[in-house]
Structures are given as structure tokens and as C-alpha cells.
Amino acid sequence: MADPRVRVQLCGRVCVEIGDERRESLLPGPQGRRLFAYLTLHRLGALSRRDLVNAIWGEDPPAAPEAALGALLSRLRRALAPIPVGAARLSLPDDAWVDLEAAREAAHRAESAMVRGDPGRAWSAAQITLFTARRGFLPGDDLPWIADVRRELDALYLRALEAYAGASLRVGGTELATAERSARELVARAPFSESGYRS
């Protein structure tokens, strides 16, 4: 049987779609969302249960962290079935769509399109990254790995904004106002970078 289509939104409100069914309401609360996000982003690496405990509770784990983690994993398995959730691993299908990963790829596509002199493609690809990065990541949570993801999102946003400003300028016409707004925002966010001033 073919794997179900899986779409995951981690930026802004966490959303999970498996087949045609939304599952985010079944995730076990804020800790379950944290666990799901961490497993999704690190699904290709080797994780330990200690990694998961740190990702969920940081320096303030519960009195019995193994039991608490086991309960969360069990609830996550039920929420995501038939997607396999192991002791420290989430196995999404190879073609699963994850918004943060799509934003990374889109930023690269936008920059590549600018190098190739294709502002139209750069303009549309940059928007994908901008829309995703604007939503933020796990708002209200404050753990070191979450701060790392937020820093990456900020960097992706700046890269996309630079491509968007440059592409809008090259497209010209009605997009000149967009180029100016984007360049001003780029200067405000990264005042020591030359790219905003060039745009």
C-alpha cells in the first residue's frame, strides 16, 4: 500500500495532514507539539531518548522523565498512525512536505534564479520563504534548540528578502514599489549588510 500524503506546518500554528485528515488537534498538548517538531526536523539523524527529554523539557525535566516521554510517544503514535513513531525516531514518507524544509529549498532557488538572471522565478520562490519565516517557530516556547531554529528562520528571511528586493527591482513596473519596501526592510533588519543599500 502506498504511503499516505503527509504535509507538516511547523512555523506558526503546528499543522499535520495525513492523507486528507488533519491531525494537529490530536497532538498531546504543547509538549507533544515540541516533540513532534523536534522529531520532524531531526528525523534523518540519530537521536537518543535523552535528546528527546532535553528537547521537550530542557533543564527542567519531570521527576520520571522516561515514563513521561514514553507516555508522550505513545500518544504521538496514536495521533500520527499509520506514520511510524519509534523510541526516538519519526519515519515520514520520502515525499513528505515540511514547510521549514520547503522554505530552505525556496531560498536557495530564489538565489540561484537571481544568479541565472531569472527574476520572475526568484520573485516567486522568495515569497515562499518569506511567508513561512514570517510565521515564526513554536511561539511561546523557549528552549535552546527552538532558539536555533528561530535564528535559522531569521537568516532565511533575510536571504529571501534580498532576493525578493532584487527580483522586484529587475521585474520593474508595478514591482518597483515592492523593491523599495523590501530594500527598506532589509536595511532596517540588517543595517550593516550592503545588500539592502544596493537594492
Tens digit of pLDDT for each residue in 30-68?
999 999 999 999 999 989 999 999 999 999 999 999 999
At 132 the pLDDT is: 97
What's the average model confidence in pLDDT over 94-113? 97
Query: Comparing C-alpha atoms, which of 53, 67, 77, 75 is closest to residue 145?
Result: 53
User: Does the pLDDT of residue 197 top 50, yes or no?
Assistant: no
Given a cut of 60, is residue 20 above it in pLDDT? Answer: yes
pLDDT of residue 175: 67
Q: Whole-angstrom distance between the N-terminal and C-terminal Cα of the chain?
A: 51
Q: In whole angstroms, what is the distance from residue 115 CA to residue 85 CA? A: 41
How is residue 164 written as a grid cell? Answer: 525578493
